[in-house]
Amino acid sequence: MLKIKLYEPTQKLVWDNFLENCKNATFLFKRDFMDYHKSRFDDFSMMIYQGSKLIALVPGNIDLNNVYSHQGLTYGGILIHSDSKFIEYLEIFNEVLTFLKKKSINNFFVKQIPTIYNLNFNDELDYLSFITASENYRKDIISVINLQSDFKISRDRINGYKRGVKNLLEVREVHDFDEFWNELLIPNLSKKYSVNPVHSLDEIGLLKSRFKVNIRQFNVYKENQIVAGTTIFQTKNVVHVQYTASNSKKNILGSLDFLFFKLITEIFPKHKYFDFGTSNERDGKKINKGLLYWKEGFGARSLIQNFYKFDFSSIEKIKSLFI
């Protein structure tokens, strides 16, 4: 018999310790990361037990009587041990849906964890979405370089890098975010999209203090003046580009090409994957062609991230799966 308990702050250590042996967990699921914006989300994280043994976690929040895994995170789902088998996952998933139905929740929304972040195969959710005829309400493409493959950087990007060399640009890893946030990121996002970064300057500083190894900032300087930069979220398998910004002279200076050429070929060449993130807009319905072209110029290719909506008619379909 499985039992589900809603997460409480007293369980922080138990939650975090469980993540250490999961096949599909990253530092984004640590409570010190999830809880930095807890005032924005009504937490509805679930802990699944078999007897007294914790066997799975679901990071989640509730909004308008729907449960999401998780609106404040890039990805989510059911977090399980590396040695968990399909039948166990199926039973856990069924129990989660049953639990939510008893709570009179309307729907369960899940952002798939892209496969590159998993330490072992983790396609159970994709299969169950097919079996249950659930709604795949959104698809994004993320641009990823397999750093251990024979990827090729285009002539355009190499020429941009050479402009950076000619302009005597310098890449530095820094430990504060003030310059990048205030001089480049906030002005760029405000001008282009009339929005602010997802993380405020105080929030990204707080997260950096908690995850020093995972969150890194690289800036580009010309004559000690910042001209470009990027914020990196680093996991065991993946280097993920969280934010990128530059000044208006990026094409003349070659600043972004210079920065990412250095990151890919000199700073992170031993990592498995370099994730530029998505070029999608309007809930996945449109693609920023110029941005995609730039990412693919470094050798990135497309990986799909699915977004699923499960209702509770799925429960009966799961029960009749095996013959």
Sign of CA dihedral 280, 282, 285, 290: negative
Mean pLDDT, rounded, for 14-24: 97
Calculate the alpha carbon distances from 31 to 60, 92, 163, 323 in Å: 12, 22, 43, 40
Please tell me whether residues 120 and 205 are part of one structural domain: no
Q: What's the token pair of residue 120?
A: 């072992």
Please tell me whether residues 129 and 154 are part of one structural domain: no
In-domain check, residue 301: no
In-domain check, residue 258: yes
Cβ(79)–Cβ(56) under 8 Å? yes
Please tell me whether residues 110 and 213 are part of one structural domain: no
Please tell me whether residues 193 and 255 are part of one structural domain: yes
CB neighbours of residue 93 within 10 Å: 25
For residue 113, what is the DSSP state? Answer: P
> CB under 8 Å to 191, separation ≥6 — which residues?
none
pTM for the whole thing?
0.95
CA distance linking residue 296 with residue 284, whole number of Å: 18
> Band of the pLDDT at 317, cuts 50, 70, 90?
confident
Going by their DSSP bridges, the two strands 135-146 and 170-174 should be labelled as unpaired
In-domain check, residue 287: no
Quick one: what percent of the chain has pLDDT higher than 90? 94
Provide the number of structural domains found in the chain: 2
Please tell me whether residues 128 and 24 are part of one structural domain: yes
Which among 139, 118, 73, 144 is positioned nearest to 306, based on CA atoms? 139
Write the pLDDT tens digit of every residue in 120-136.
Answer: 999 999 999 999 999 99
Please tell me whether residues 245 and 312 are part of one structural domain: no
Cβ(25)–Cβ(113) under 8 Å? no
Please tell me whether residues 104 and 205 are part of one structural domain: no
Cβ(272)–Cβ(147) under 8 Å? yes
CB neighbours of residue 322 within 10 Å: 7
In-domain check, residue 293: no
> Band of the pLDDT at 319, cuts 50, 70, 90?
confident
Please tell me whether residues 46 and 158 are part of one structural domain: no
> Band of the pLDDT at 222, cuts 50, 70, 90?
very high
In-domain check, residue 282: no
Q: Domain range holding 20?
A: 2-140+306-319
Please tell me whether residues 20 and 123 are part of one structural domain: yes
Mean pLDDT, rounded, for 166-183: 98
Mean pLDDT, rounded, for 49-70: 98
Mean pLDDT, rounded, for 166-172: 98
Q: What's the token pair of residue 272?
A: 């498995």
In-domain check, residue 117: yes
160 pLDDT higher than 90:
yes
> Band of the pLDDT at 294, cuts 50, 70, 90?
very high
Looking up tokens 């990071």 gives: 59
For residue 264, what is the DSSP state? Answer: I
Mean pLDDT, rounded, for 13-25: 97
Please tell me whether residues 131 and 8 are part of one structural domain: yes
Mean pLDDT, rounded, for 61-79: 97
Please tell me whether residues 43 and 133 are part of one structural domain: yes
313 pLDDT higher than 90:
no
In-domain check, residue 288: no
Quick one: what percent of the chain has pLDDT higher than 70? 100
Please tell me whether residues 36 and 131 are part of one structural domain: yes
CA distance linking residue 30 with residue 17, whole number of Å: 9
| CATH number, domain with residue 266 | 3.40.630.30
Mean pLDDT, rounded, for 135-164: 97
Average pLDDT of every residue of the chain: 96
